[in-house]
Every structure is written in structure tokens, then in C-alpha cells.
Chain A
Amino acid sequence: GESVGLHLPTLSVQEGDNSIINCAYSNSASDYFIWYKQESGKGPQFIIDIRSNMDKRQGQRVTVLLNKTVKHLSLQIAATQPGDSAVYFCAEKASWGKLQFGAGTQVVVTP
């Protein structure tokens, strides 16, 4: 759905721990999903994507899980580092549709 609200949810995680960021998507027709990272003053940066014919995809230190039954997406970051501090957005897309962003989660990595 549309991004709403002025305050981003915040996830505070200790350096070295694993992070899990959750996202609920709205369109049951969406078949392609992307996670983006946005650092202060920069544009969104692609992290990892997943298509609806998969339920899990792994990258370097990141894993995306897709549960189509409950329309839920998650991003797991292993061994979180200070450089992982950013806002994370999930985005969904139906085949011929627009790429729609969620509201975002602020991740703060503490030493």
C-alpha cells in the first residue's frame, strides 16, 4: 500500500547480532519484491530481490524470505555491522504494474 505516517519504525541492534526487518505488502498480484537500503543523503540502493516462485533467497550476509500466504516479506542481515545503519525499504511489483515502496524501517547499529 501507500507509505503512510511520519515516523519510521526503528530497529536497534547490537553490532554482530542478526537483524530481521519485516514488511507487509498489499497487492496479492505482486510477483516481484525488492529490498532497498537508503543511507542519509543518498538514494535507495538495491540489496536483494525475490520472485514469487521462490520463498527464500540468499545473498552476501542477507537473506530474504517471502510468505505469499500472509503477504509478508522479511530481510535478515547476518552479523550486523555499523555500515548497515540505514533505512530499509521493501518494494513490490506486479508484472505490468508500478514499483511500490513500503514505509521503511530505520536500523540503528549500536557498538
Chain B
Amino acid sequence: GAGVSQSPRYKVTKRGQDVALRCDPISGHVSLYWYRQALGQGPEFLTYFNYEAQQDKSGLPNDRFSAERPEGSISTLTIQRTEQRDSAMYRCASSRDRNTEAFFGQGTRLTVV
């Protein structure tokens, strides 16, 4: 596609519900990153993939968070049993390979009420 696409753009969910955030990277991009960004702060690393392999998940806050990229393209970030503190902008980025610039999507604004 023309750019990194994330869906939904906005998600409001009730505390305790599970949510799945989708990232569609630029076609052919090998690396895919997930970040969380609070207002006024830099992107906080969550996890990243090269192809379908999850290379690093050290930034996932706890075991309620998981991510997958089963076919090396689209990725899903899942948050189980959401809590209010999970409210944030979740951003996805992709890069052509592991050492080139990463391009960001518009993000998904998650609000847990």
C-alpha cells in the first residue's frame, strides 16, 4: 500500500474487554514495530518483527499484551482484559529492512472507560 495503515483509528472499550489493533505495513517491508505514545512523550517501544519472527517483545508491559504477524505482513496487537492505564495512542511502523528508516502509520487512539 501507499503507507502504513492502522485500524481502527479510534477505539473506545470498556474496562475488562479485549481489543485487537491492526497494522498493515507498507508492502514488502520486512520489519514491523509497535509503539505506544502518551501525550507529550516519545514513542515507547513495545515489540518488533522481522518477517513473521518476533525479534524483541521486551517492551510489552505485561502478559495481557501480545502481538503476532503470522504471514510476515499484517500484524495484530492484542490487549486482553483492558485497564484504564492502557489508554494511549498505539503506533505501528514498518521499514524495508532492519536498517532503514521506519515509516509510521496514523496510530490507533485507544480509550478504556
Would B99 and A101 count as touching, CB distance under 8 A?
A: no
Contact with B along A79-109 (1 / 0, CB 8 A): 0000000000101010111111111100000
Of A12-20, A44-52, A57-65, A68-76, which stretch is located at the interface? A44-52
**Given A100-B45, A101-B45, A104-B42, does the pair A32, B102 have CB atoms closer than 8 Å?**
no
Residue total for A at the interface (Cβ-Cβ under 8 A): 29
Residue total for B at the interface (Cβ-Cβ under 8 A): 26
Please report the number of residue pairs spanning A and B whose Cβ atoms sit closer than 8 angstroms: 65
Residues of A within 8 A of B43 (CB): 3, 44, 89, 101
Q: Is the CB of B51 closer than 8 A to any CB of chain A?
A: no
Q: Provide the bound-state CA to CA distance between A17 and B104, in Å.
A: 29
Q: Provide the bound-state CA to CA distance between A97 and B45, in Å.
A: 11
Q: Which of B40, B42, B48 contacts A98 (CB 8 A)?
A: B48
Q: Is the CB of B41 closer than 8 A to any CB of chain A?
A: yes
Q: Provide the bound-state CA to CA distance between A51 and B91, in Å.
A: 24
21 pairs of residues in contact across A and B, judged by CB atoms under 8 Å: A2-B44, A3-B43, A6-B40, A6-B41, A8-B40, A31-B99, A42-B106, A43-B106, A44-B91, A93-B99, A95-B98, A96-B55, A96-B98, A97-B56, A98-B33, A98-B48, A98-B59, A99-B33, A99-B45, A99-B48, A101-B45
